[in-house]
C-alpha cells in the first residue's frame, strides 16, 4: 500500500505533499484521479482532505463535512485526524514576514 497501513502509528502526513503534487500534475494534464484504499474509510479520505485543505485553503472541519456528504462512512483514525489538524495549522497559518 503506497500510503501505509491504517494504524494509529502510521505517519500518513509524510505522504501529503507527494500525493498533492501527484494529483495536481494529473489534473494539470487534463486527467482525473481516483484516490482509494481498502475500505475508503480512513486513508483515502485523509489524503483527499489534505489535498483540499492545501489547494482550496479550507479548514479541516469544513472539508471533513464536504467529504462526508459524498461518502457518509468516512472515519479517519484518531492519529490521522491529529495529523490533519497539524497540517491544517501549517497550511492555513499566515506566512512569516
For the question of residue 37 being annotated catalytic, the response is yes
User: Within its chain, how far is the Cα of 26 from the centroid?
Assistant: 16
Catalytic residue among 23, 37, 60, 63: 37
The residue assigned the cell 462526508 is 68
Could you tell me which of 10, 92, 8, 78 has the C-alpha nearest to residue 50?
92
8 Å CB contact between 53 and 63: yes
DSSP single-letter state for residue 13 = G
Query: Which active-site residues does the annotation give?
Result: 37
Amino acid at each position: 500500500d503506497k500510503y501505509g497501513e491504517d494504524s494509529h502509528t502510521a505517519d500518513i502526513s509524510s505522504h501529503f505533499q507527494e500525493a498533492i503534487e501527484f494529483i495536481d500534475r494529473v489534473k494539470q494534464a487534463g486527467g482525473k484521479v481516483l484516490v482509494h484504499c481498502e475500505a475508503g474509510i480512513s486513508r483515502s479520505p485523509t489524503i483527499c482532505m489534505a489535498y483540499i485543505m492545501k489547494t482550496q485553503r479550507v479548514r479541516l472541519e469544513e472539508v471533513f463535512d464536504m467529504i462526508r456528504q459524498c461518502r457518509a462512512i468516512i472515519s479517519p483514525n484518531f492519529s490521522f485526524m491529529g495529523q490533519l489538524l497539524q497540517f491544517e495549522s501549517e497550511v492555513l497559518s499566515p506566512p512569516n514576514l
